[in-house]
Amino acid sequence: MGFDLSGKRVAVLGVGKMGGILLKALLEKGLLSPKSTFATVQHEDRARALSEKLGVSVGTDNLAAVREADIILVCVKPQVVQEVMEQIRPNVSRKQLIISVAASVPTSQIEKALGEVAVVRAMPNTPCVLGVGMTGLCKGKYADARQVETACALFGVVGKTVVVDEKHMDAVTALSASGPAYIYIILESLAEAGVKVGLPRDVSTLLAAQTTLGAATVVLETGDHPALLKDAVTTPAGCTIDGIMELEEGKLRVTLIKAVVKAAQRAKELAYG
Ligand SMILES: NC(=O)c1ccc[n+]([C@@H]2O[C@H](COP(=O)([O-])OP(=O)(O)OC[C@H]3O[C@@H](n4cnc5c(N)ncnc54)[C@H](OP(=O)(O)O)[C@@H]3O)[C@@H](O)[C@H]2O)c1
């Protein structure tokens, strides 16, 4: 393995949906060593259950969890970040790397709370659970290129990564972090459509999902513009153009654009409640 954190002490603050996906994947891939991994949640009973399930130390004391940690992965809700940063401050030093996946929370807020520490902000998505995630990352004021590389390598274990300027992080949040929800709605609708035209639901869902995967794979692997790829499917006077006319009439394009714009606006506010 090219990238190995097993000698490093890692604290994961918040093991909910996203923290859980990341922690589980990093442990399963052998990137983290269970004895050097310290996680926290809010509730004692959750801590006990997770500790048993994952085989790592899970508690509720954030300050203790980050003591001598090399990497601190912050996976609590945006509204809780400030409070958690204030709790851990006494045990944070300049040699640590803070990686926050909290939507909307700027690196400057974390730097202000903790002092001159290296912060990388990351925005993963739930398909990380199967190693097919997408994570956008950006660096704070004090993080160097090597630390950004470390964060990229960490999220590279659960999917693709892209480094962007921090000003684009709300857009990344709205597109690729919220995006799986949009795609699931599209998939569900296509599957429903298959049922409407007589297909069994399981066959219909398989056709819709594999078609989505196939189309996305072609875009990624050829680098061709989606419009050109669409044209190749659209035979003159064939069936596809009739389907496309319905999509245009239903304003699918503008609806998707507006969905991302709205989500990006909301992403700007999240950290403030
Ligand atoms: N879900 C996504 O698709 C997604 C994508 C990208 C980024 N994110 C980001 O990931 C972060 C977490 O989101 P989520 O969806 O995983 O939320 P979630 O499922 O509600 O998880 C939040 C976790 O934080 C724990 N927690 C709450 N207060 C805490 C405290 N004071 N100290 C330590 N742990 C505490 C909770 O503990 P308990 O388990 O005891 O309640 C829970 O485990 C958010 O900042 C979000 O913006 C999420």
Residue 79 beta carbon below 6 angstroms from any ligand 1 atom: no
pLDDT value at position 165? 97
| Ligand 1 atom with the shortest distance to the CA of 270 | 47
Ligand 1: does its nearest atom lie under 6 Å from the Cβ of 15?
yes
Ligand 1 centroid vs 166 CA: distance in angstroms? 21
Cα of 18 from ligand 1 centre, angstroms:
7
Cβ atoms of 86 and 109 closer than 8 Å? no
Partners of 98 in beta bridges: 72, 119
Q: Which residues pair with 59 in a beta bridge?
A: 40
- Check if 266 has its Cβ closer than 6 Å to any atom of ligand 1: no
> Helices 78-88 and 107-114 meet at what angle, rounded to 10?
20
| Bridge partners of residue 159, in order along the sequence | 133
Cβ of 99 less than 6 Å from ligand 1: no
Output the pLDDT for position 1. Answer: 45
- Residue located nearest, by CA, to atom 30 of ligand 1: 42
Q: Taking CA 61 as the corner, what is the angle to CA 107 and CA 51, rounded to the nearest 5 degrees? A: 105
* Residue of the CA atom closest to atom 1 of ligand 1: 18
Name the residue among 186, 188, 178, 191 with its Cα closest to residue 216. Answer: 186
pLDDT given for residue 7 in this prediction: 82
Query: Distance, CA 101 to ligand 1 centroid (Å)?
Result: 9
Question: Is the CB of residue 42 below 6 angstroms from any atom belonging to ligand 1?
Answer: yes
pLDDT, one tens digit for every residue, the chain (273 residues)? 456 777 899 999 999 999 999 999 999 988 899 999 999 999 999 999 999 999 999 999 999 999 999 999 999 999 999 999 999 999 999 999 999 999 999 999 999 999 999 999 999 999 999 999 999 999 999 999 999 999 999 999 999 999 999 999 999 999 999 999 999 999 999 999 999 999 999 999 999 999 999 999 999 999 999 999 999 999 999 999 999 999 999 999 999 999 999 999 999 887 665
Phi, psi of 162 (to 5 degrees): -145, 135
DSSP string, the chain: -----TTS-EEEE--SHHHHHHHHHHHHTT-S-GGGEEEE-S-HHHHHHHHHHHSSEEES-HHHHTTT-SEEEE-S-HHHHHHHHHHHGGG--TT-EEEE--TT--HHHHHHHH-S-EEEEEE--GGGGGT-EEEEEEE-TT--HHHHHHHHHHHHTTEEEEE--GGGHHHHIIIIITHHHHHHHHHHHHHHHHHHTT--HHHHHHHHHHHHHHHHHHHHHH---HHHHHHHH--TTSSHHHHHHHHHHTTHHHHHHHHHHHHHHHHHHGGG-
Q: How far apart are CA 199 and CA 218, in angstroms?
A: 26
**Atom number, ligand 1, closest to the C-alpha of residue 126:** 3
Give the pair of three-digit tokens for residue 98: 């803070």
Q: Which of 12, 13, 18, 135 to mutate to test the pocket of ligand 1 (most atoms within 8 A of CB)?
A: 18
Expressed in angstroms and rounded, the spacing between residue 78 Cα and the centre of ligand 1 is 8
The number of beta carbons lying within 10 Å of the beta carbon of residue 143 is 23
